[in-house]
Chains A and B, each alone.
Chain A
Amino acid sequence: MSDKVPFSEILVYLDGSESSMSACMYAILLARSTGSRLHAIYCINTKALGDLVKARIFVSQEKTEYLADLKKDAERHIRHTKKLAESRHVNLVTTVTEGSPSAEVSHYIKAHGIQLLVLGSVNMIRSRREELTSETDRMLRTSPCPVLVTRDDESVWQMFEELD
């Protein structure tokens, strides 16, 4: 049996949640131990923003304010992720994009030959209502490559701390 790792390009999806930070740490551990290249993507959900303006829930002034907030949030998380990767000597390719997160991630996977997508925890199925499906759930269902779903638990943080 071949002992070759079946991936060399890993993508981790960041959305600012704690579970996406756990996913990021796990992806750094995985990239380091397999010698894979790690990519991190943060998508500013301008699709949802546009929908809120269309539905007249947001006025255009709010859209502008939120867009600025979301961009700042994206920069903050990307900066933090870079620091985490650098601290464990892992090279990281970062991208901030805008649009519908699941569509943007799918597009990035195809465009960059990604072979493994790492996601933070997906939601428990508590409702059959399709409208309540999260972006992470959609990515799990639509990803063109294999997906690894991490758990937001202490052991990931501990393993990350223990890695030199």
Chain B
Amino acid sequence: MSEVIFHVRRYQPGKDARPYYQEFRVPLTPGLTVLDGLWHIKETQDPSLAWRFSCRMGICGSCGMLINGRARLACNTQITELGTSRVCIAPLPNFDIIRDLVPDLQPMFRTHKEMKPFIIRGDGLTESSEGEFIQTSEELEHYLQFSYCIKCGCCMAACPTVASDREYAGPMPLAQAHRYNRDSRDMGFAERKQVLGGGRGPWRCHFAGECSRVCPKGVDPARAIQLMKRELFLDVLHLRGKSCAAPCAGKPTDAKRREGIPEAPKPTVG
């Protein structure tokens, strides 16, 4: 195969009455990714084609799109791994379209923010002011895999419940809520429960498991949601084990700097 045919869904609200597919031919070169192909189209055939990208290495989560029927990162998808010379590209489903391949991710991030995705301490301590919180490697394992999420929205696009139920929070925000609930440094379960215990919570998940299947970072949001269901269930029955938040180690007072190690630069913020 010497060239690849890209079927790209185009749509410009206000100009186009409805989305349509446009065909482009891209020469196949070794290591060509879908993102490279889109760049080739933009540079040589149609500069008006719009999509979102940033890092080009599967870290930023910007270039999530529907590639041959599956939500993936364009930068992480080699053409050869698709096993076909025809590549059908559309914006992520379950989101409004801003233009062409650019989905509107704002609703997802608003829901994410509602879940309070940060360490909440009731004791007034913060890591930066008092030192480091003590956390064992076993405690880290409870949430580590969920912290690999890059918020690309692929799980939201693959979720059949999100597709039909506009109230459901979706796999990404729920998995991130669970990530912080399981963090031994966190004391925010009661606060997050105000949102999780309502109608947008994990009960609406049907455990289709598509979110975990498509995640480009290997995160398992479906597992997070099931674990969260169990926690909320036990919480109602007052059977959820209560553990104290990780204590602060404090800054060492008697440590001496070894020779040859320079002082850290002064903080520039805060």
Pairing of A with B: no
